[in-house]
Amino acid sequence: MQAARLHETGAPGKLRIEDVPVPEAGDGQTVVSVRAAALNHRDVFITRGLYPKIVLPRILGSDGCGEAGGRGVIVDPTIGWGPDERVWSPDASILGMPADGTFAQNVAIPNENVHAKPEHLSDEEAAALPLAGVTAYRATFVCGGLRAGETVLITGVGGGVQTFALLYAKAIGARAVVTSSRDGKLERAKALGADVAINYATTPDWHKAVRAAVGAVDLAIDSAGGDSFAKALSVIKPGGRAVTYGGTTGDATIKMFPVFWNQLSIFGTSMGSPGDFAAMLAFVSKHFIKPVIDRVYELSEIESAMQRMDDALQFGKIVLRIPSA
Amino acid sequence: MQAARLHETGAPGKLRIEDVPVPEAGDGQTVVSVRAAALNHRDVFITRGLYPKIVLPRILGSDGCGEAGGRGVIVDPTIGWGPDERVWSPDASILGMPADGTFAQNVAIPNENVHAKPEHLSDEEAAALPLAGVTAYRATFVCGGLRAGETVLITGVGGGVQTFALLYAKAIGARAVVTSSRDGKLERAKALGADVAINYATTPDWHKAVRAAVGAVDLAIDSAGGDSFAKALSVIKPGGRAVTYGGTTGDATIKMFPVFWNQLSIFGTSMGSPGDFAAMLAFVSKHFIKPVIDRVYELSEIESAMQRMDDALQFGKIVLRIPSA
């Protein structure tokens, strides 16, 4: 079968299309015929060697949609979460490292990670959902507790998780404030329902602009860390919540007084439990949420797709169409 | 009546014993004849002018125990918390600023802030309970969710809140790790049941010592902020919690990766709601918890008492005995 495989780390362009054996289903596993996959920042980090426990050679890819047992299926990429809803087990992993992933015509995954594809989604849309969709669901609702009528701040809109968080917030009737360094992404976010959109590059004091626009927010969702997280904390109303699911710009210096005096809660989150994944699928189906797709590439164009992710040019998910075997 | 009143800020020694009129009960208020009061760091901060909305002259004091309507009562010092369990209302305040407090023979407080004194406590012990007791209860259980069999880290043991947190943890069968810069306080904490006691002054890498002693903790409770809070975060196990109720040493620089990757939760807290206060009283009564009293001073010795608090020499609460009118 065709697959995009990594033999050495160094750069996003290191993935190569190869002909490799079709995987066999191990005990308790299902082989899914992949029709579409989607990229995550994780894939870029792995190609750069910026990920723990890298095993090579390996087929990357965490997100996928396809067919198994004659039905359309979608893949839960978190393998072996374990019994604790609050945190994954030390043995948990994400599809695509160390196990072979979805950038291939077939992928073998545990039976319990195979879910029915939401009926209202195309293959490409369904492929865009898993990792970003469940991360956003856990961040927005399970940790963040967002409710109708509340206001959420989503920093750095344009990435998959942020875009899903925006769609989810609008679906339940919350107000959304978004930031980006690119006006084009802010325009796209507004078209998706963002109530306030602020360019943090041209407005360095963007937290003051948030204050001026909406007063304060009930929830802030951030994956930049550093100055972004610190500023996000500063616009949360007393009793409010912050969720962090990343720290791409580094450590954050936190003023303690507003945290304890205003009784803020800060939740760290990564991915989601099997329960979160099932709840996310139900939520997406109930609200007919359609993932925002940035571009669809052929598997053979994996290098261009990875480059676009690395350049952070995308708005929404970058999807790979996988050719039939 | 006799009262310790502040006319100008500047230092803990600025409080003066004076003869002032007995307060009258306003609408919905009760006048409590105070038998004992207790000091908090807040009182020192106020004398230094380090508190918002200082009104002068004012009788300080948040903690008190005494008599009202012929029965022994204890005072809930949080006035007007409001309807939201998660956070106090913007109109809430703490007894002793801006309203006149308990360092006096009488104090007027809202009826709903008057509670029956736990029967197993002396006047001095009951006076030591309110502010530190409820802050520790909310930090340990309401926010921190400590359960039997878990391990809690309590930094800077010796202050009122930390000492209550230690007593509470041991009462439910949790394991407690404590830190202090003074060996004497560590010895006292061990006598109260602390399982591991580490001197952070002589062991700057105390977080590594925590790791070596217990592996990792389920919950960390900190009011120092800064480096203390950052190190406390570094010893929390995946899925664990941190609670901050102060930031005396300043801002904390937080590594984001362990927070989101290990799915940590961080809760800021101050004081406690009326529900927290009632639950704390029930908990203390059920477990026959006796507040740790550092020293008992006469009201006339207020200057020495405040100086001891300012010097951070105490272990447990500093109590004032109030003379009968």
- Taking the C-alpha atoms of residue A198 and residue A186, their distance in angstroms, rounded to an integer, is 7
Q: Is B199 exposed, middle or buried (0-12, 13-18, 19+ CB in 10 A)?
A: middle
**Is A180 or A248 the better-scoring residue by pLDDT?**
A180
**Among the listed residues A118, A1, A96, A91, the one whose alpha carbon sits nearest the alpha carbon of residue A41:** A96
Phi then psi for residue B203, to 5 deg, are: -125, 80
Q: What is the pLDDT of residue A201?
A: 96
Rounded to the nearest angstrom, the minimum Cα separation between A240 and chain B is 9
Take residue B297 and report the two structure tokens written for it.
């001073």
Q: Tell me what the mean pLDDT of segment A266-287 comes to.
A: 98
Percent of chain B exceeding pLDDT 70 equals 100
The tens digit of pLDDT for each residue in B223-234 reads 999 999 999 999
Q: Tell me what the mean pLDDT of segment A260-275 comes to.
A: 97
Take residue B135 and report the two structure tokens written for it.
């802050």
Residue in the block written with tokens 């800060």: A266
Neighbour tally for B203: CB within 10 Å: 13
Cβ contacts of A278 within 8 Å, gap of 6 or more: A115
Q: Tell me what the mean pLDDT of segment B292-304 comes to.
A: 97
Inform me whether the pLDDT recorded for B82 exceeds 90. yes
Contact B223, B246 (CB under 8 A): yes
Q: What is the pLDDT of residue B147?
A: 98
Inform me whether the pLDDT recorded for A313 exceeds 90. no
Q: In angstroms, what CA-CA distances link A133 with A186, A290, A309, B226? A: 20, 11, 17, 35
Q: Which residues of A touch B86 (CB under 8 A)?
A: 239, 263
Rounded to the nearest angstrom, the minimum Cα separation between B51 and chain A is 12
Cβ contacts of A202 within 8 Å, gap of 6 or more: none
Q: What is the pLDDT of residue B313?
A: 87
Counting Cα atoms < 13 Å in the Cβ hemisphere of B294 gives: 25
Take residue A3 and report the two structure tokens written for it.
């697959």
Residue in the block written with tokens 């990343």: A246
Rounded to the nearest angstrom, the minimum Cα separation between A194 and chain B is 25
Inform me whether the pLDDT recorded for B45 exceeds 90. yes
pLDDT confidence of B312, banded at 50, 70, 90? confident
**DSSP conformational letter for A140:** I
Q: What is the pLDDT of residue B157?
A: 95
The tens digit of pLDDT for each residue in A83-104 reads 999 999 999 999 999 999 999 9
- Are B254 and A257 in contact (CB < 8 Å)? no
The tens digit of pLDDT for each residue in B121-176 reads 999 999 999 999 999 999 999 999 999 999 999 999 999 999 999 999 999 999 99
**Among the listed residues B294, B210, B245, the one whose alpha carbon sits nearest the alpha carbon of residue B136:** B245
Take residue B154 and report the two structure tokens written for it.
């309590």
Inform me whether the pLDDT recorded for B115 exceeds 90. yes
Q: Is B303 exposed, middle or buried (0-12, 13-18, 19+ CB in 10 A)?
A: middle
Neighbour tally for A33: CB within 10 Å: 17
Q: Tell me what the mean pLDDT of segment A255-274 comes to.
A: 97
Inform me whether the pLDDT recorded for B186 exceeds 90. yes
- What ranges make up the beta strands (E) of B214-255? 217-222, 236-244, 252-254
- Taking the C-alpha atoms of residue A106 and residue B159, their distance in angstroms, rounded to an integer, is 61
Q: Which residues of A touch B239 (CB under 8 A)?
A: 84, 86-87
The tens digit of pLDDT for each residue in A114-128 reads 999 999 999 999 999
Cβ contacts of A62 within 8 Å, gap of 6 or more: A40, A42, A43, A77, A94, A95, A96, A101, A102, A130, A131
Rounded to the nearest angstrom, the minimum Cα separation between A224 and chain B is 9
- Are A88 and B225 in contact (CB < 8 Å)? no
Q: Which CATH architecture has domain B2-129+291-321?
A: Alpha-Beta Complex (3.90)
Inform me whether the pLDDT recorded for B266 exceeds 90. yes
pLDDT confidence of B288, banded at 50, 70, 90? very high
Q: What is the pLDDT of residue B51?
A: 86
Ramachandran class of B168: left when φ > 0, alpha when ψ lies in -120 to 50, beta otherwise: alpha
Give the domain A134-268 fold: Rossmann fold (3.40.50)
∠ at Cα B253 (A232, B251), nearest 5°? Answer: 80
Residue B265 has its nearest CB partner, among A223, A225, A267, at A267
- Taking the C-alpha atoms of residue A66 and residue A1, their distance in angstroms, rounded to an integer, is 15
- Are A262 and B84 in contact (CB < 8 Å)? no
Q: In angstroms, what CA-CA distances link A75 with A68, A303, B119? A: 11, 23, 60
- Taking the C-alpha atoms of residue A224 and residue B86, their distance in angstroms, rounded to an integer, is 27
Residue A251 has its nearest CB partner, among B238, B256, B265, at B256
Q: Which residues of A touch B245 (CB under 8 A)?
A: 260
Report how far apart the first and last C-alpha atoms of chain A are (Å, whole number). 7
Inform me whether the pLDDT recorded for A312 exceeds 90. no
Q: In angstroms, what CA-CA distances link A218 with A136, A144, A193, A242? A: 16, 9, 18, 8
Which runs of consecutive H residues, i.e. helices, occur in chain B?
41-47, 123-127, 130-137, 160-172, 183-191, 206-214, 226-233, 256-261, 274-286, 302-310
- Taking the C-alpha atoms of residue A198 and residue B22, their distance in angstroms, rounded to an integer, is 57
Provide the mean pLDDT of chain A.
97
- Are B87 and A260 in contact (CB < 8 Å)? no
Burial code of A124-142, b = ≥16 C-beta within 10 A, e = fewer? Answer: bbbbbbbbbbbbbbbbbbb
- Taking the C-alpha atoms of residue B39 and residue B42, their distance in angstroms, rounded to an integer, is 8
Q: What is the pLDDT of residue B269?
A: 98
Query: Of A293-302, B63-72, B305-314, which range is least confident?
Result: B305-314
Q: Which residues of B touch A88 (CB under 8 A)?
A: 238, 263
Q: What is the pLDDT of residue A52?
A: 83
Inform me whether the pLDDT recorded for B52 exceeds 90. no
Q: Is B280 exposed, middle or buried (0-12, 13-18, 19+ CB in 10 A)?
A: buried
Inform me whether the pLDDT recorded for B53 exceeds 90. no
Residue B252 has its nearest CB partner, among A250, A256, A265, at A256
- Are B229 and A256 in contact (CB < 8 Å)? yes
Q: Where are the domains of chain A?
A: 2-129+291-321, 134-268
Phi then psi for residue B115, to 5 deg, are: -125, 155
Q: Which amino acid is at B259?
A: V
Rounded to the nearest angstrom, the minimum Cα separation between B75 and chain A is 21
Inform me whether the pLDDT recorded for B300 exceeds 90. yes
Take residue B118 and report the two structure tokens written for it.
């736990």
Percent of chain B exceeding pLDDT 90 equals 97
User: If residue A171 lies in a helix (H) or strand (E), which one and from where to where?
Assistant: helix A160-171
* Predicted-complex ipTM score: 0.95
Take residue A16 and report the two structure tokens written for it.
């190569």
Q: Is A9 exposed, middle or buried (0-12, 13-18, 19+ CB in 10 A)?
A: middle
Percent of chain A exceeding pLDDT 70 equals 100
Instruction: Give pTM, 2 decimals.
Output: 0.96
- Are A225 and B256 in contact (CB < 8 Å)? yes
